[in-house]
Amino acid sequence: MRISRFFSQLCLLTLALTAPLNAQSAFAWKIITQDGIPYIPLEDVRSFYKFTPLKKERGSDAIQSIGNNATRLEFGPGERELKLQGYKLQLSKPYRYSETGDLLLSQEDVSKLLDPILRPVYITNRQEVKTVVIDPGHGGHDVGVRSAAIRESDFTQLIARALAEELQKRHYTVILTQDSNSFRSNQQRAEITRRQDNAIFISLHLNSGRSDTRGIQTYTTAPAAFNEHPVPGNEHDAANIALAFALHAALISRTGATDAGIKRSHFSLLSSLNCPAALVELGYATNEEDCTALNSEAYRQTLCTALADGIDTFAAAMKPDAAMSPPPAAGFTPPATYEESAPKATEHDQQAEEPQKKDPPKPSRRKRRSRR
C-alpha cells in the first residue's frame, strides 16, 4: 500500500522524539483555566513532543513556532490559525496568553487536533479501513454550485467514478452514495453509510466565493462544545481530524493547489455519521483558474491519486497492528511499553467520544449547516 512519505515520516519521527526514557513515567500537564475553558501552555506541548524551544516573533503578525527536523507547528498570526508542516488548520478555540505572557492552547485542541494528527495510531477507537464510501455532492435537480465553466453535480460524478476505480485497484471495497447524478437526501446518504462496516466516508464538493478566491478546503465534524449534546459524528473526533489532515496534505502536496485550510464545522451529514468522515472542497467553481484545472482530465486524475494516497496513509495508521516504531538509529532502543498520553478529555468530552448506546444523545439545538 502506498503511503504518503511526509505523513509516515511525521508519525515515525514524532514518536521517536516523544518516547519517554522511563516508560512508567507520566507527563505532568499544567492546566490553566480561562473563562471556564481548560488551556495548556505551549511550552508543555513543546516539552511533551520533545520539540525545539519556542521561536517567538514580535509585532502584530507575530508567529510562535515549535518543531524539530521533521515537523514544524506555527501559531498565528490569527488567534485560531495553525500551520502543521505548512498545512493550514483552524483551532477550535482561540489561543490565549497566561499572566506571564505564555501562549496557551485549549485542552480540546491538544487532545482532539494535535495529538490525533501527530500520533494517529494512539486513537483509542480506531478501526481497520476496508470500505470507502464516496459521496458525490448534490445530484439531480440539486446541481450545487454552478458557473459558466462548470456545474458541481456534474464534476462530483466524474471525480467520484474515477476515484472509485483508483481505490478498487488498491483493493478497497467502494460504495457510491449515488452514481447516476440523481438526487439523494442527506438522510439517504447517511443510511447508506451506516450499513457499512469498517468504513470511512468522503464527500466530494466544489466551493464558491469571490472570483479571486481559490484553493482546496477540507472539513470534518466539530468536536462537541461545552454544554452541548454530542452528535454521532463526535464518536470519531480524533479519527475525523486525522483523516481530514491525511487527505488535505496529500491533495495540496500533489496538486500544488492553494491551501484553503482544514476546518471543523457542523455539517448535518457529517454530524450524523457513525464512522470517520471528511468533506473535501476540491476547488472554486467561481474562480477561473480553478475551473480551468478542474475541467482537465489530467488534473482530475491527479486529484484522485492524491485522495487515494491520503486514504492509504490514514488506513495504514488505523490497522490493528499499526505501530509508530521509530526508525533504526545507532544507540537508540525504544521502550517496551508506552504509557504517556495526551491530556485526558474532560468528562463531557469523554461522553462525546463514547455515546451511551442505551440512551442516545439528543441533537444539539445549534443550527447546523444543511447544505452538505
Say yes or no: 143 and 38 in one domain: no
pLDDT of 28 higher than 50: yes
Predicted pLDDT at 7: 53
The predicted pLDDT at position 140 comes to 87
Residue 68 confidence class, pLDDT cut points 50, 70, 90: confident
**pLDDT number for residue 357:** 35
Same domain for 111 and 22: yes
Whether 182 and 213 map to the same domain: the answer is yes
Q: Which domain holds residue 229?
A: 131-318
Q: What is the mean pLDDT of residues 139-161?
A: 93
pLDDT (average), residues 119-139: 94
% of the chain exceeding 90 in pLDDT: 66
Residue 98 lies in a domain: yes
Does residue 154 form part of some domain? yes
Confidence of residue 347 (pLDDT cuts 50, 70, 90): very low
- The model's confidence at residue 342, banded by pLDDT at 50, 70 and 90, is low
Residues 199 and 168 placed together within one structural domain of the fold: yes
Percentage of the chain modeled with pLDDT above 70: 78
254 has a pLDDT exceeding 90 = yes
| Residues 291 and 159 reside in one and the same domain | yes
Same domain, 223 and 147: yes
Residue 138 lies in a domain: yes
Between these two residues, 363 and 222, which has the higher pLDDT value?
222
Looking at residue 328, its pLDDT comes to 39
Cα(first)–Cα(last) distance of the chain, in Å? 31
What is the average per-residue pLDDT within 308-327? 84
> The domain spanning residue 55 has which CATH number?
3.30.457.10
Residue 207 lies in a domain: yes
Is 60 exceeded by the pLDDT of residue 38? yes
Same domain, 135 and 283: yes
Rounded CA separation 258/78 (Å): 19
Q: What is the mean pLDDT of the chain?
A: 83
Least confident range of 111-125, 168-182, 195-209, 356-370: 356-370
Give the pLDDT confidence score for residue 372 in this predicted structure: 54
Answer yes or no: do 43 and 152 share one domain: no
Q: Which CATH number characterizes residue 184's domain?
A: 3.40.630.40
Residue 358 included in any domain: no
Q: Is residue 277 part of a domain?
A: yes
**Whole-number pLDDT of residue 227:** 55
Residue 4 has pLDDT above 70, yes or no: no
> How many domains does the chain divide into?
2
pLDDT of 13 strictly over 90: no
Is residue 91 domain-shared with residue 146, that is, in the same domain? no
Tens of pLDDT, residue by residue over 191-213, are 999 999 999 999 999 999 999 99
Mean pLDDT score, 257-278: 96
- Tell me, yes or no, whether 102 and 186 share the same domain: no
Asked whether the predicted pLDDT for residue 15 surpasses 50, the reply is no
Task: Read off the pLDDT of residues 114-123 as tens digits, 9 standing for 90 and up.
Answer: 999 999 989 9
pTM of the model: 0.84
Determine, yes or no, domain membership for 350.
Answer: no
Task: Choose between 23 and 74: higher pLDDT.
Answer: 74
pLDDT at residue 3 in the model: 43
Residues 182 and 89 in one domain: no
Tell me, yes or no, whether 216 and 306 share the same domain. Answer: yes
Is 244 inside any structural domain?
yes
Residue 104: other Cβ atoms inside 10 A: 24
In this prediction, residue 343 carries a pLDDT of 64
**Is pLDDT of 25 > 60?**
no
What value does the CA radius of gyration of the chain take, rounded to a whole number of Å? Answer: 20
Is the per-residue pLDDT at 311 higher than 70?
yes
User: In this model, does residue 331 exceed pLDDT 50?
Assistant: no
